[in-house]
């Protein structure tokens, strides 16, 4: 399922060649954080990705409190930066109720690529 969802998101973009390395990155995040859900957000989710200008935004949702120093990280997939945000389900609910724009847009426009279950989809 993960691969199929990524393939759908990447299809027709200048990021189609990122399928395998992006999938590897996401599987690593799923395993490392015991993720509940993962959303691809930002320009890629909105089909506005521009190679060389855009990054890939990933929201990792977990079922436990996450320390502040682990919430944000950067990775690179080929020549594209990946911004990873990790948040607990409870904190996400609070952020949404407070109208925090990043999270509201992530949930509203993001594409879920991983629901709870097998990390390989």
pTM: 0.92
Q: Is residue 121 domain-resident?
A: no
CATH of the domain at 26: 3.30.460.10
How many domains does one find in the chain? 1
Q: Is residue 55 domain-resident?
A: yes
The pLDDT of residue 10: 96
Does residue 117 have a pLDDT over 80?
Answer: no
Mean of pLDDT over the chain: 93
Q: Is residue 87 domain-resident?
A: yes
Q: Is residue 26 domain-resident?
A: yes
pLDDT for 12-56, tens place per residue? 999 999 999 999 999 999 999 999 999 999 999 999 999 999 999
Domain ranges, residue 38: 2-114
- Over residues 55-70, the mean pLDDT reads 96
Q: Please report where in the chains the tokens 């199929």 appear, as a residue.
A: 4
Q: In which region does residue 56 sit, left (phi positive, over 0), alpha (psi from -120 to 50) or beta (all else)?
A: beta
DSSP letter for each residue of 51-120? TTT--EEEEEEESS---GGGSEEEEEETTEEEEEEEEEHHHHHHHHHTT-HHHHHHHHH-EEEE-SS-TT
pLDDT for 92-108, tens place per residue? 999 999 999 999 999 99
């Amino acid at each position: 399922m993960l691969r199929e969802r990524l393939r759908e998101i990447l299809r027709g973009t200048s990021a189609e060649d990122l399928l395998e390395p992006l999938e590897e990155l996401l599987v690593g995040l799923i395993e490392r954080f015991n993720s509940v859900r993962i959303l691809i957000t930002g320009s890629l989710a909105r089909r506005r990705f521009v190679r060389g200008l855009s990054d890939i935004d990933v929201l990792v949702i977990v079922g436990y409190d996450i320390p502040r120093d682990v919430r944000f990280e950067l990775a690179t997939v080929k020549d594209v930066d990946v911004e990873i945000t990790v948040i607990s389900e409870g904190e996400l609910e609070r952020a949404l109720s407070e109208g925090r724009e990043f999270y509201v847009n992530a949930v509203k426009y993001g594409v879920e690529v991983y629901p709870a279950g097998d990390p390989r989809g």
